């Protein structure tokens, strides 16, 4: 039996074994359930206590002996709903806290650069872009190419572009002109995106948003360098404008 879903809702392996033993035995004592679940007797009361707290088990004393029973499996649905409500309440509290935390944040001075590694790291950079730009503003990219892993790249940009379009952020791209890159933009792009092509092969993608510049290498394990500098941003923007004009008439 696949118990992955039970682990994902917060039950430990010991809790799962004891819960299943309760369902199978209908009613059991400490000793019988320890044998059925295959857990250490020293851990029984700790594990059972967690099931009782979650409302997945009940207990009754018969002739001075404690007997334990599983609650109906439908209780899991209620337990999931309770967890969801708690998570939503915590998320709402965090949202209310963010403005106060932002006020305590020391403003950055001068030029800063950070390195992000892996798909999660690169995703953090693109989410920064989405958070930085306002509705109607434009994310400008040049050097966009096929990447080392085309499948992962397309999956990644489907998710990012969905978030970007949901906020109403426009996109201008000067991309490498190769069949795979054109097909990628056909699959994950949008009719409002402006894509132009140049016959070039660049190893890195340059992403310009606000006063930030992201240099992204889509290797097997991607890497991004995020630069916070108005001077660097202006310099790269001038380069982008020159490439954009050069690529005029090459829309895909």
pLDDT digits (tens, 9 = 90+) for 190-208: 776 899 988 877 778 999 9
Q: Is residue 251 part of a domain?
A: no
Q: How confident is the model at residue 94 (pLDDT cuts 50, 70, 90)?
A: confident
Tell me, yes or no, whether 52 and 134 share the same domain.
Answer: no
Q: Exposure pattern of 212-224 as b/e (b: 16+ CB <10 Å)?
A: bbbbbbbeeebbb
Question: Over 60: is that where the pLDDT of 252 sits?
Answer: no
Residue ending a domain, among 105, 122, 147, is: 105
- CATH code of residue 230: 3.30.870.10
Q: How many domains does the chain have?
A: 2
Rounded percentage of the chain residues whose pLDDT exceeds 70:
96
Residue 138 to residues 12, 37, 96, 134: CA-CA distances in angstroms? 47, 58, 28, 9
Integer Cα distance of 116 and 163 in angstroms: 20
Q: Are 229 and 210 in contact (CB under 8 A)?
A: no
pLDDT in tens, 121-179: 999 999 999 999 999 999 999 988 888 888 898 999 999 999 999 999 999 999 888 88
pLDDT of residue 125: 94
Are 93 and 137 in a shared domain?
A: no
**pLDDT surpasses 80 at 106:** no
Strand order from edge to edge, sheet including 57-62? 27-28, 65-70, 57-62
| Res 69 pLDDT > 80 | yes
The pLDDT of 75-81, averaged and rounded, is 87
Domain range for 183 is 112-246
Same domain, 210 and 152: yes
Shared domain for 85 and 201, answered yes or no, is no
Q: In this structure, are 164 and 217 located in the same domain?
A: yes
The mean pLDDT value for 47-68 works out to 89
The answer, yes or no, to whether residue 92 has pLDDT greater than 90, is: no
User: According to the model, what pLDDT value does residue 251 have?
Assistant: 61
Q: What is the pLDDT averaged over residues 7-17? A: 88
Residue 220 lies in a domain: yes
In a domain, 252, yes or no: no
- Classify residue 241: in a domain, yes or no: yes
Residues 91 and 174 in one domain: no
Could you tell me if residue 187 is inside a domain? yes
Same domain, 117 and 238: yes
**Co-location of 116 and 235 in the same domain:** yes
- Claim to verify: residue 122 and residue 41 sit in the same structural domain: no
What's the mean per-residue pLDDT of the chain? 87
| 9 within some domain | yes
> H helices within 168-229, ranges in order?
179-188
Q: By the 8 A CB rule, do 6 and 54 touch? A: no
Please check the confidence at residue 247 and state whether its pLDDT lies above 70: yes
Last-in-domain residue among 105, 128, 154? 105
Residue 119: pLDDT band with limits 50, 70, 90 = very high
- pLDDT at residue 249 in the model: 62
Same domain flag for 122 and 100? no
Mean of pLDDT values over 210-229: 91
Above 90 in pLDDT, residue 250? no
Which of 76, 105, 134 terminates a domain? The answer is 105
Q: What percent of the chain has pLDDT over 90?
A: 33
Task: Note whether 19 and 49 are within 8 A (CB).
Answer: no
């Amino acid at each position: 039996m696949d118990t992955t879903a039970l682990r994902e809702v917060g039950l430990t392996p010991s809790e799962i074994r004891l819960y299943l033993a309760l369902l199978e035995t209908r009613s059991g004592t400490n000793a019988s359930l320890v044998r059925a679940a295959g857990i250490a007797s020293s851990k029984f009361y700790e594990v059972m206590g967690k099931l009782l707290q979650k409302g997945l088990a009940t207990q009754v004393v018969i002739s001075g002996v404690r007997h334990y029973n599983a609650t109906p499996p439908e209780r899991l649905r209620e337990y999931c709903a309770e967890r969801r409500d708690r998570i939503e309440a915590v998320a709402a509290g965090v949202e209310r806290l963010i403005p106060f935390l932002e006020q305590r944040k020391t403003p950055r001075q001068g030029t800063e650069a950070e390195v992000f590694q892996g798909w999660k790291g690169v995703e953090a950079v693109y989410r920064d872009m989405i958070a930085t730009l306002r509705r109607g503003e434009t994310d400008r990219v040049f050097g966009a190419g096929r990447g080392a892993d085309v499948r992962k790249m397309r999956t990644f940009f489907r998710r990012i572009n969905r978030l970007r379009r949901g906020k109403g952020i426009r996109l201008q791209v000067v991309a490498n002109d190769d069949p795979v890159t054109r097909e990628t933009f056909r699959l994950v792009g949008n009719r409002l995106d402006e894509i132009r092509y140049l016959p070039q092969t660049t190893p890195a993608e340059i992403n310009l948003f606000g006063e930030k510049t992201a240099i992204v290498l889509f290797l097997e394990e991607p890497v991004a360098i995020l630069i916070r500098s108005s001077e660097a941003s202006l310099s790269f923007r001038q380069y982008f404008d020159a490439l954009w004009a050069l690529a005029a008439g090459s829309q895909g």
